[in-house]
Structure 1
Amino acid sequence: MEINSIRRQKRRTDRLNLYVDGEFRLTIAAEVAVRRGLRPGHALDEAELTALAEEDARWRARESALRLLSYRQRSENEIRRRLASRHFDPATVETCIDHLKAASLLDDEAFAIAFCRDRLRSRPSGRARLAVELRAKGVRDDVAREALDQIFSSEGQDELELARQAAHKFTRPRNIDALRLRRRLYGFLSRRGFSADTIAAVMEESAPAS
């Protein structure tokens, strides 16, 4: 078998249609074609066509992942789930993940630290809540612990001060007695992941003087 024609797509100029023995057989990235040295008259067999399709799948997976990462940092598991949802096979997904990690473009610890910093700026929360959110992002517990240690120890984030900030943002309903208000504030801070001791300290500070 040999390639008779290589035609660039009109809408996707980075994609090429390959015609083999007079029939359309495959669409691949122009980058893959250049890397493989493909040209009209190039002889190939079914095994090489299969290899081209697999290489193109790896290229498409990488491009999809890079587009996702161009918007914001993401966890390894987020990228894995998104690529799987786009019907890339597991081997292609793992190859892509390995490539991104080797290029330092995917780093769960760096992601976790950045995620926590951003969350604390926009939505003051306790360590427990941040741990739950990182787990939901697919970050391993040991990696999450290291990131939280970095945030709360090395960078000096104070959970009591964060709880004060959260309490300040709490919307206090009108026409509600003091006891019910305290219960609602307690529930609000608890859902934000603050410890019972931290919540008690904040509520003591906010209690009206007798």
Structure 2
Amino acid sequence: MAVITMIEAQKRSGRFNIYVDGHYAFPVSDSVLVDFRLYKGMEIDKELEGRLTAADDVAKAYNRALDYLSHQLRTEKEVQDKLTTLEIPEDTIEQTLKKLRDFSLVDDAHYAASYVRTMMHTGDKGPRVIRQHLRQKGVGEKVIDDALVLFTPAEQLAVGTAVAQKLAKRYQHNSTRNREQKMRQGLMTRGFGGDAIKAMLDAVDLTPDVDEQHALLAKQGEKLWHRYRALSESERQYKTKQALYRKGFKLDDISQWLADFGESVD
């Protein structure tokens, strides 16, 4: 039977060259060296050599995974996808993932809970967007459900109200109706639900400034009136009135403005 005649450290840290019967045979990592208790004079056959080579492939993939994980938390799917891009065989990836799981270095439940907590304290997203993000990362529905329990209705209200206040400021120069519509749409886009959105909007003071709304109506009305100057008078009034209504102004306010502007209305 063949015998290991020399174990030589490579210049590359953690790597060793194995010589069998006086000839270079294959390299191994320090973890494989320890796990298989390799030593000079140890007998080795082809079956053992194959196991050593396979174990070394896993060790190399494992180190690649550790490097990828060193920057931030990753889901199991992210690690799998990364190793796949490195053209590592599927069976080696599976063994690597098992090793990572055994050492709790990949844990989708921990990732999901950590992500939810981060979004609660630093983000502006609701549960629907959070769920979508976790799905894209390959996290299972049950794990997502368990993590979202952390995002209590009270926490959602706090986060969503802060978002609503920012949106209210952003759209303060819109008509009252359009302002609320844009705020509602903004909250929906960020992943908040219907009943929760109503509570968030109720928590924000949306009492319109009458003078500001009148000035805004007049400004928009004059622009539209000028835009439709080529139309007949009745068509011009109709188009202006219709456009102002679409912008969220009340019909009574529009009619009053047209009257004050010196035009008759139907």
Give the TM-score normalised by the residue count of structure 1.
0.80
The aligned counterpart of 2:9 is 8
- State the one-letter code of the partner of 1:166: V
Question: Number of matched residues?
Answer: 205
Report the secondary structure of 1:138's partner residue: coil
**CA separation in 2, counterparts of 1:165 and 1:78?**
32
Deviates more, 1:129-138 or 1:94-103: 94-103
**CA separation in 1, counterparts of 2:165 and 2:46?**
67
* TM-aligned CA deviation for residue 130 of structure 1: 1.0
Provide the aligned C-alpha RMSD in A: 2.7
**CA separation in 2, counterparts of 1:73 and 1:157?**
27
1:34-58 Cα offsets, whole Å, 9 max, x none, are: 3323344443233222111111122
Report the secondary structure of 2:170's partner residue: coil
Is the aligned partner of 1:165 residue 2:166?
Answer: no
**CA separation in 2, counterparts of 1:54 and 1:7?**
20
1:98-150 Cα offsets, whole Å, 9 max, x none, are: 33333333332222111111122221221111111111111101110111123
- State the one-letter code of the partner of 2:133: E
* TM-aligned CA deviation for residue 27 of structure 1: 1.9
Report the CA distance shift for 1:197/1:117 in structure 2 as closer, same or farther (over 3 A): same
The aligned counterpart of 1:190 is 188
**CA separation in 2, counterparts of 1:133 and 1:20?**
51
Report the CA distance shift for 1:159/1:73 in structure 2 as closer, same or farther (over 3 A): same
**Long gaps (5+) in structure 1:** none
**CA separation in 1, counterparts of 2:82 and 2:174?**
48
**CA separation in 1, counterparts of 2:36 and 2:56?**
11
The aligned counterpart of 1:208 is 207
**CA separation in 2, counterparts of 1:177 and 1:119?**
29
The aligned counterpart of 2:136 is 136
* TM-aligned CA deviation for residue 168 of structure 1: 3.5
**CA separation in 1, counterparts of 2:113 and 2:120?**
11
Alignment of 1:10-89 (within 5 A): 10=11, 12-21=12-21, 23-89=23-89
Sequence identity (%): 27
Deviates more, 1:87-96 or 1:109-118: 87-96
**CA separation in 2, counterparts of 1:69 and 1:202?**
38
**CA separation in 1, counterparts of 2:13 and 2:112?**
37
Report the secondary structure of 1:151's partner residue: coil
**CA separation in 2, counterparts of 1:184 and 1:151?**
25
- State the one-letter code of the partner of 1:198: A
* TM-aligned CA deviation for residue 181 of structure 1: 4.2
**CA separation in 1, counterparts of 2:3 and 2:27?**
15
Report the secondary structure of 1:28's partner residue: strand
The aligned counterpart of 2:121 is 121
The aligned counterpart of 2:240 is none
**Long gaps (5+) in structure 2:** 211-266
8 Å contact kept, 2:4–2:20: yes
- State the one-letter code of the partner of 1:5: M
Give the TM-score normalised by the residue count of structure 2.
0.65
The structure that has the greater radius of gyration is 2
